[in-house]
Amino acid sequence: MKKIFINEVGPRDGLQNIDNVLNVDERIQLIQSLEKAGINSLEVGSFVSPKAVPAMDKTDALLEKLSNSNSNYSVLIPNTFGYKQAKENKVKEVCLVLCATESMNKENINKSIEETIAEFKEIIDLAKRDQIRTKIYISVAFECPYEGLVSSKYIYHLTKEFLAYGINEVVIADTIGAGKPDQVTKLFRSLVKDFGSSNFSAHFHDTRLLALSNVKAAMDEGITKFDSCIAGLGGCPFAPGASGNLATEDLVSMLHKEGYETGISEEMLRNSAKLASQLTS
């Protein structure tokens, strides 16, 4: 049976995009419930300014309390300062986010794409030395809320540049849920043809209810690793009321129905989804 790997992003991407701020113990409760369901790869926090993102404050304390776990935890960092904090807290994998349009990148971290690439390369150099795994999200990879359609050639170019520089993983992210299966097919076909499939994963949103179709399109091109978010937490920051991150329970259910193995219990996952709703409502 073919295995598909799921990286759970609820404890970071989900929780930071809702109004309720959970305390460290509540965040840990959610993470441990997901681990109990069989998830062993999770984005658990970030090292960003607590003023900008109060929901991710005290990620250092959270990591300290989780230090006995065998799961793979990743943490989002926006710059070299965040990298230093991640290293001090013994993080083994850091996530970088580069938006593929100038307007979105400016909105996200207030820097140009060129400045961001330069700083991320410094981080990759440090991480190689420190043996910390690096992963880059290429955000708004299909469409940007400010600049419209994004050229797949440009995404290919960015991907090539980071892979050549030694990034460990490139995550193609449809941040506003605007991508369609034919775009997903086209992009991954060209990437996998030249770089193989093992360095890629995909992050889809359900804003237009196309996330699962996009997952299938990516799987057809050989992609075996996907992000998802328990209970679809987080919504879509650019479309009030719209659903956002692909829900982990939907993804796992679809994969099991199609005969794929995930190592995750659907029953336990339902408990995690319930817990996520309780903690955030």
Q: Annotated catalytic sites, by residue?
A: 236
245 forms part of the interface with Mg ion (CB under 5 A): yes
174 forms part of the interface with Mg ion (CB under 5 A): no
For residue 70, the minimal CB distance to Mg ion (Å) is 25
| Segment lying near Mg ion (by CB under 5 A), choices 101-109, 129-137, 215-223, 245-253 | 245-253
| Segment lying near Mg ion (by CB under 5 A), choices 78-86, 194-202, 210-218, 243-251 | 243-251
Nearer to Mg ion, 13 or 35 (CB): 13
Number of residues that bind Mg ion (CB under 5 A): 2
Nearer to Mg ion, 16 or 183 (CB): 16
Nearest to 237 by CA among 114, 122, 145: 145
Q: How far apart are CA 92 and CA 266, in angstroms?
A: 28
Q: Is 234 exposed, middle or buried (0-12, 13-18, 19+ CB in 10 A)?
A: buried
Q: Identify the residue among 8, 13, 43, 221 touching Mg ion (CB under 5 A).
A: 13
35 forms part of the interface with Mg ion (CB under 5 A): no
| Segment lying near Mg ion (by CB under 5 A), choices 29-37, 46-54, 155-163, 240-248 | 240-248
Nearer to Mg ion, 17 or 89 (CB): 17
Interface residue list for Mg ion (CB under 5 A)? 13, 245
